[in-house]
Amino acid sequence: MATPKRHPITKRAEPTPVTTKPSDRATVLAAYTADKLKVQKQLKIGAVITYHGRNETLDGKSVKVTGYEPRGGVLVEHQGDRYTVSPHALLKPKK
């Protein structure tokens, strides 16, 4: 007579306590998003601004602001192409 297979009984892990304090990364991200929204308000739709950012195609070129993103990004247009950029890239660079 064959013995049935036995499955070991394991204890379930206790749930970790819920922390109400946000992580450092979440705090930094929230502050950056709030800062982007603040800068975004300075940029009017239809304005033509010189881009100073990481996008090599647009760097140093004039772009037209066409819209906003809810999380702080700015929609711009250059020669018929649309891009989403950081509003900080549309400010005058600090020397």
Which CATH number does the domain housing residue 58 bear?
2.30.30
pTM, 2 dp = 0.67
pLDDT per position as a tens digit, 61-80: 999 999 999 999 999 999 99
Query: Can you point out the beta strands (E) in the chain?
Result: 48-50, 62-68, 74-78, 81-85
Angle (CA) 36-39-43 rounded to 5° is 125
Task: Name residue 79's amino acid.
Answer: Q
Q: What is the pLDDT of residue 79?
A: 93
pLDDT per position as a tens digit, 23-49: 788 889 999 999 999 999 999 999 999
Q: What is the pLDDT of residue 77?
A: 96
Residue 65 belongs to some domain of the structure: yes
Total of domains in the chain: 1
The pLDDT mean for the chain works out to 87
Give the pLDDT band (50/70/90) at residue 13.
confident
Residue 32 belongs to some domain of the structure: no
State the residue range of the domain holding 62.
44-95
What CA–CA distance (Å, rounded) separates 78 from 83?
Answer: 8
Whether the Cβ atoms of residue 74 and residue 60 lie closer than 8 Å to each other: no
Structure tokens at 47: 């304005």
Residue 3 belongs to some domain of the structure: no
Q: Phi then psi for 9, rounded to 5 degrees?
A: -90, 125
Residue 80 belongs to some domain of the structure: yes
